[in-house]
Homo-oligomer: A and B are copies of this chain.
Amino acid sequence: MPAPVKSVLPVVLLGCGGVGRYLLRHIVSCRPLHANQGVAIRVVGVADSSSLLVADDVHSSGLDDALLTQLCAAKAAGSPLSALLGQGHCQLFQNPEARSKVIDAATMLGRTTGLVLVDCSATYDTVSLLKDAVDHGCCIVLANKKPLTGAYEDFQKLVSNFRRIRFESTVGAGLPVIASATRIIASGDPVSCIVGSLSGTLGYVMSELEDGKKFSEVVKKAKSLGYTEPDPRDDLGGMDVARKALILARLLGQQISMDNINVESLYPSELGPDAVSTEDFLESGLVQLDKSMEERVKAASSRGNVLRYVCEIGSTGCQVGLKEVPKDSALGRLRGSDNVVEIYSRCYESSPLVIQGAGAGNDTTAAGVLADIIDLQDLFRKTA
């Protein structure tokens, strides 16, 4: 017999593309598991970039599981949320009314029974809504990195009630990086440095270079394996890693912004998107980078080191780029597309705490988001 439900978590999901759809599926399939643990997730609304589907009565009910399942199928097929009208006890609102309906729900539920705004979109546009929700006492769970990597004031506002925000999946997908760093900090063990390989793509590329392969060939192979963005320069430029680095730096208390991070791009501006098309970059641009990369790899090797594309957050600031690391360190031993993070602190001084594993993928990212939601349950417990 399942335990009596002690905690109900009403959720509004912003963004129902890849990660968001997986999250809804996980929520539905985990119902029996969560019931056993005395917790229930009530999805009261789901929004995409243009509209919001919301339960008729957010106080007492959510969108039912059949509707959520249909919603996943519709979004996977490229249909808009409006295609679901008439499928259940719900209403559809277009922007900008959609936004005010989310605020209505936040006002009604935020301080009383709690409301979790889950951002699985990939846009800056959610920031003002999230900040308003914080004012209404809501919780925030983010897979979207952008709200935390804009203006420092936005970050500060979003984390102002630190027990009410989770953002594990912004760094290393479901890997317990933020949770572990937060635990270490809370125990009074000051984190002195975090070094990480936080791009599966660049991790793969750099480890393949050790075997003497050409940079251009390895990047094309990575693209054919689906590891890169459609334009690999979106990976090679390092901005995605820099966003993760900024989140970690801010978590450690650094009041910095993207401008303060040195980001080394693996291609020069002459081969950038403004100057060269994706096709030309792949056909003739990449090969121009082979020689200098080969020289760097060889130079590192002569010192017993290998090259990794890492972020490094220390007391002196935050850097993102190529770094020589010992062959037999956790970073140096990395192969394939796994992420790895090394955390140094008083307790992990000479030998770091290392966390390694798959750091991308809709399934894994959504699992991290769901664990974050569940982690909020004690804030809204019905009874002690």
Partner-B contacts on A (CB < 8 A)? 26, 29-30, 33, 37, 111-112, 114, 137, 162-163, 174-176, 179-180, 183-184, 186-189, 328, 330, 333, 335-336, 338, 346-348, 351-358, 361, 363-364, 367-368, 370-371, 374-375, 377-379, 381, 384
Which of B37, B335, B336 sits near A186, CB closer than 8 Å? Answer: B37
Between A and B, 20 residue pairs with Cβ closer than 8 Å are A30-B187, A114-B384, A137-B384, A174-B187, A174-B347, A175-B353, A176-B180, A179-B183, A187-B370, A187-B371, A188-B370, A336-B351, A347-B361, A347-B363, A347-B364, A353-B357, A354-B355, A354-B356, A356-B356, A378-B379
Tell me whether B188 and A26 are in contact (CB under 8 A).
yes
Tell me whether A381 and B384 are in contact (CB under 8 A).
no
Return the chain B residue nearest A336 by Cβ. Answer: B351
Minimum C-beta distance from A141 to chain B (A)? 12
Return the chain B residue nearest A6 by Cβ. Answer: B163
Tell me whether B352 and A188 are in contact (CB under 8 A).
no
Minimum C-beta distance from A208 to chain B (A)? 15
Tell me whether A358 and B367 are in contact (CB under 8 A).
no
Complex CA gap A371/B180 in Å reads 10
Q: Which residues of B sit under 8 angstroms from A179, Cβ to Cβ? A: 176, 179-180, 183
Tell me whether A353 and B356 are in contact (CB under 8 A).
yes
Complex CA gap A111/B358 in Å reads 41
Nearest 8 CB-CB pairings of A with B: A30-B188, A378-B378, A353-B357, A187-B367, A183-B371, A354-B356, A187-B371, A187-B370
Tell me whether A26 and B363 are in contact (CB under 8 A).
no
Minimum C-beta distance from A359 to chain B (A)? 10
Q: Which residues of B sit under 8 angstroms from A175, Cβ to Cβ? A: 353
Q: Which residues of B sit under 8 angstroms from A377, Cβ to Cβ? A: 163
Complex CA gap A142/B373 in Å reads 25
Which of B163, B354, B361 sits near A354, CB closer than 8 Å? Answer: B354
Minimum C-beta distance from A158 to chain B (A)? 16
Tell me whether B352 and A111 are in contact (CB under 8 A).
no
Complex CA gap A192/B218 in Å reads 33
Q: Which residues of B sit under 8 angstroms from A351, Cβ to Cβ? A: 336, 338, 357-358
